Amino acid sequence: MKLPIPKLKKSGLRWADGAVVYQIYPRSFQDSNGDGIGDIPGIISRLDYLKELGVSALWLSPFYPSPMADFGYDVADYHGVDPMFGTLDDFKELLQKAHALDIKIIIDIVPNHSSDEHQWFIESSKSRDNEYSDWYVWKDPLGFEGGFPVPPNNWLDLFAGKSAWEWVEARQQFYLHTFHVRQPDLNWHNPQVRKAMLDMLRYWLEMGVDGFRVDAVPFMGKDPEYRDEPANPHYVNGRDNPYHSLQHIYSGYTDEHYTYLGMMADVLKERAFRGRKRFMITEGYTERIDPVSEYLRYYKSMDPEVAAPFIFEGIQLPWEPHVWHDFLGEFHKTLEEFSPKALASYAFGNHDQWRLVTRIGEERARSAAVLKLTLPGVIFVYYGEELGMHNVEIPKDKVQDPGAAGDIQYGQGRDPERTPMQWSADEHAGFSDGKDTWLPLSPDYKEHNVAGEEAKPNSSLNLYRRLVNLRQSEPTLTHGNFRMHSSKGHPLMAYSRNFGKESMLVLINFSDKPTTYGLSNSGHILVSSLNLPTQPEPVQGTIPLQAHEALVIRIDK
Ligand SMILES: [Ca+2]
């Protein structure tokens, strides 16, 4: 009997359903000119690797002209490319070559702040009455103590944990910097700023980019009264960044930023860009009080057809079955009820967070790869995650990250998760043929690299390739719904993805002991996190799982 072919949920506007987005931190992916810093021509030279891995899209962390006070997240010109990374023509070539391989490109948008070297800020700093004077957040001092101006409130900067206000003599006023002192916050209350930022999105869409990742969104809207923030009772002095001594309820996370995000998402829907698919993902860490509701608020503020917030549970939840069981069950039920268009968007690592393997260990990270690549929606792979790259210890004199100032415990900031990609056992891991690299390489790169892992059938890289390929080729994984099957409290989590009459079952053993699962029908194992079968293995009845093993099983029809 011929089974009916399941109907695909077609979306005219977006490419992100089931997509695998690979995040490139341009400084650390591939150096093409021997200066020890990765660049855009380097990325172009590695497109074949990315095609082989099977990714749908690349997200590039910022490549804009920048004094690099925060390695590019301090943008001095939203419309160009820093010479360190190449030229605008290099970027256009990357777009064209990636598109020829059917790989989309999304770029990083930094709307909350610019560099202090941006022309807007240079002008804005000069006086209180010029064209750009109201483009940043300027405030009068509360008064003067001992001749020194007193900041307008108690807000803190996230990098150094000191006052977020910096005095400018020429204006006799403070400007606000939620991040580094060289990253002044833009004034989104000003319609001219909003227009400039939305026009900037149009500029890149017209060039051909396929969407955006939007940085640090909760801070775009500030309390209009600029009230003092209350103390955080959970703060531990001497352990935590002093920034966390306050509850950030006025410096960010206000109602306004949702409105601004809605405006940004609407640009993607404009008539001029119809006919090309696109998507936008926003970076807003939840306050962890009620994550599902907090995420839903983002879904409600942007058209879910073209935008979604990052879901950071892959970074923030401990690797424990009951928390994952609860979150996935509740979140996907809520999302389905809200809108069939709403798309989940999972990251398990990025340039600001400890690497997955370092957080949960190698065996668990392989199970987490099975989880990630079988979840609904769009998922992200941080460069090197597919190799099982781990955090690298950075000697004190080599630390680069300005955020290290607030990293009381380790003093290394985010450098350990930003070290150069490990391509081969050659000098500098094939990342650069220069004298030195901007951050040191992992000491284990000779054992752990792309060339070596390609040759090992059960390597992390080959597990990722198998899983990415499965996700891209199975409509069940691309478009299927999500149903939790296991019961709370069991060390094994079981869920299925279902599409028409097809069903894929995923089993994840969170325990360091073997366990079993009773299958009511028969099926075929397509992937095990421990051992990649050369062909589907038939199973029925009681299925044994090794410690930390995860399985993907196609249920027989
Ligand atoms: Ca370079």
pLDDT in tens, 154-174: 999 999 899 999 999 999 999
pLDDT in tens, 229-244: 999 999 999 888 899 9
Residue 426 DSSP SS3? coil
**pLDDT (0 to 100) of residue 557:** 85
CA of 250 to the centre of ligand 1 (A): 41
Catalytic residue among 74, 185, 215, 385, which? 215
Distance (Å, whole) CA 346 – CA 375? 8
**pLDDT (0 to 100) of residue 12:** 75
What mean pLDDT do residues 116-138 have? 98
* Residues 6+ away with beta carbon under 8 Å from 269: 13, 303, 305, 306
**pLDDT confidence band for 5 (50 / 70 / 90):** very low
CA of 208 to the centre of ligand 1 (A): 24
436, HSE (Cβ side, Cα atoms, 13 Å): 4
Indicate the average pLDDT of the chain. Answer: 95
**pLDDT confidence band for 150 (50 / 70 / 90):** very high
**pLDDT (0 to 100) of residue 1:** 44
CA of 434 to the centre of ligand 1 (A): 9
| pLDDT above 90 for 66 | yes
Distance (Å, whole) CA 477 – CA 465? 15
Residue 285 DSSP SS3? coil
| pLDDT above 50 for 2 | no
**pLDDT (0 to 100) of residue 114:** 98
Whether 283 is catalytic is yes
DSSP letter at 363 equals H
CA of 167 to the centre of ligand 1 (A): 36
Distance (Å, whole) CA 504 – CA 527? 11
**pLDDT (0 to 100) of residue 13:** 87
What mean pLDDT do residues 188-214 have? 98
Distance from chain centroid for Cα 205? 20
**pLDDT confidence band for 487 (50 / 70 / 90):** confident
**pLDDT (0 to 100) of residue 11:** 54
Whether 215 is catalytic is yes
**pLDDT (0 to 100) of residue 275:** 85
Distance (Å, whole) CA 245 – CA 513? 40
Percent of the chain with pLDDT over 70: 98
| pLDDT above 90 for 4 | no
CA of 435 to the centre of ligand 1 (A): 12
Residue 481 DSSP SS3? strand
CA of 36 to the centre of ligand 1 (A): 6
pLDDT in tens, 108-124: 999 999 999 999 999 99
CA of 211 to the centre of ligand 1 (A): 25
CA of 422 to the centre of ligand 1 (A): 16
**pLDDT (0 to 100) of residue 486:** 82
pLDDT in tens, 205-222: 999 999 999 999 999 999
**pLDDT (0 to 100) of residue 405:** 84
| pLDDT above 80 for 148 | yes
User: Does residue 135 contact residue 113 with C-beta atoms inside 8 Å?
Assistant: no
**pLDDT confidence band for 3 (50 / 70 / 90):** very low
User: Does residue 137 contact residue 178 with C-beta atoms inside 8 Å?
Assistant: no
Catalytic residue among 17, 74, 229, 283, which? 283
| pLDDT above 90 for 6 | no
Distance (Å, whole) CA 71 – CA 59? 16
What mean pLDDT do residues 14-43 have? 98
